[in-house]
Amino acid sequence: MTPRRKRIFIVSFILIGISIAATLILTAFEENLMYFYSPTEIANGEAPKVRAFRIGGLVLTDSVKRNPNNLKVNFVLTDTINEIKVIYDGILPDLFREGQGIVANGKMKSDNIFVADQVLAKHDENYMPPEVAKALEDAGAQLPYQENKIVK
Amino acid sequence: MSLNNFFAMGGYAAYVWSAYGISFIVLFLNIFLAVRNERKTIDELKKRLGSNNK
Amino acid sequence: MYKWIHQFGSPKYFYDISLHLSKWVTIVCIVCFIGGLYGGLVLAPADYQQGDSFRIIYVHVPAAWMSLFIYVILATSGAISLIWHIKITDIIARVSAPIGASFTFLALSTGAIWGKPMWGTYWVWDARLTSELILLFLYLGYIALQSAFDDKRIAARAGAILALIGIINIPIIHYSVEWWSTLHQGPTITKLDKPSIHLTMLIPLILMVIAFKTFYIAIALIKTRSEILKYECNSSWVKKILGN
């Protein structure tokens, strides 16, 4: 291969690579720029009706009901304005707990029941030792993960 | 804190140590490639300089 | 300013200064690295939510910051070399790109390892992760461009243009977690209000950030010196160095 041929080959390789990357970005961002919808957005009909999408919110305290015989679980997801019931059958991430922000992927079954095929935990940007967290809680302060951070 | 506790990483040993393992490999490769390149360059230039002087 | 740039751009001057600089950055790097590792893995307490898995932060965050920082170096060197045609910035950009690519890879892989236990998945196509992956493609494209041209000056110019176009991705990566809803959490340290990491956890992180930054400088200096020797192999000062 002559050096000129080699250059043309490599430059076209780069161009193809960049166009693949650009297509990837556009398709990924088109659908996922907003990675998830909040319960209020769903209530307002902004979320897809038929297609699968993601829903994000806080797990309502005392709403988690686990089936003792299998992995089936259902809970209520809230953004403190609207609520949506989520049904899920699978392994939950370590961070899943009441009051925790989560993102679930799935479809609407009816007006306010969401069937999830994947549940991901969304942790916050706060880091502290357990003793500090406990001291804060004892002092009556709201822990970061109990704040309603996802609410717009 | 015992040594066993340290290596267990509260049950996250596989994740924590693999992340640190990858980090060490990447950092080491950076050092290795830079130093090897430096030695190679100096050797080659010395060789060329030597043959020019003869 | 112009005079200073040209003096700094003189290969011999840079070579001499970099020898002194190398020694100091290596010392700082080693001290901060050992201190950061000990502080991060041993002294820092487990996180109240994430337990010990949060310790991945001490390699993940410095690597991610360096992936952005080195790209800014590429773009800045690119702009300087397009405007002033300074050889030394071409060299700095060329030797920095693989280091930046390796840090980007490190940020992505440690992030994936961290994501599995905490989020429940290795990878999601949210804005933060996707834009960081694009950064890796930009680095790889830059490196490919450098090897595509035999003429180093054309390669540097092509690389400079790619780096300057790609710089748009840097603010996107940084602000992605604020502009869009992402699975990735918001910034911990760079936000303006109260810092949201406890001091015992913050100090090792700062040490690791310094360690990674000085590591990059140390490696880039070694590589830059090798390239200078190659470029200047016919000048008398290089012959003098090699003669010893």
* Contact yes or no for A10 and C144 at CB 8 A: yes
The rounded percent of chain A whose pLDDT value lies above 90 is 5
Full domain range(s) for residue B8: 3-53
Assembly ipTM:
0.90
Q: Per-residue pLDDT for A143 more than 60? A: no
**Is the residue at C11 inside a domain?**
no
Domain count, chain B: 1
Question: DSSP string covering C10-42, please?
Answer: -HHHHHHHHHHHHHHHHHHHHHHHHHHHHIIII
Cβ within 8 Å of B, C 6-25: none
Which residues in chain A touch residue C196, judged by CB atoms under 8 angstroms apart?
124-127, 144
Average confidence (pLDDT) over C158-166: 87
Average confidence (pLDDT) over A99-128: 85
Q: Which residues lie below 8 Å from residue C23, measured CB to CB, with a gap of 6+?
A: none
Q: Per-residue pLDDT for A75 more than 70? A: yes
Q: How far C211 CA lies from chain B's nearest CA (Å)?
A: 11
Q: What is the pLDDT of residue A150?
A: 38
Partner B contacted by C65 (CB < 8 A): no
Task: Spell out where A9-141 has E strands.
Answer: 53-59, 65-66, 72-78, 83-89, 101-110, 113-122
Average confidence (pLDDT) over C110-117: 93
Contact C226, C18 (CB under 8 A): no
Question: DSSP string covering A90-115, please?
Answer: SPPPTT--TT-EEEEEEEEEETTEEE
Cβ within 8 Å of A, C 45-104: 45-50, 53-54, 57
Over residues C41-88, the pLDDT tens digits come to 999 988 888 889 999 999 999 999 999 999 999 999 988 888 877 888
Full domain range(s) for residue C125: 22-243
Partner A contacted by C113 (CB < 8 A): no
CATH of domain A39-146: 2.40.50.140
Domain count, chain C: 1
**Is the residue at C10 inside a domain?**
no
Q: Which of C231, C151, C17, C220 is nearest to B45 (CA)?
A: C231
Q: Per-residue pLDDT for A101 more than 70? A: yes
In angstroms, rounded to a whole number, what is the distance separating the alpha carbons of residues A64 and A43? 21
Q: What is the pLDDT of residue A1?
A: 60
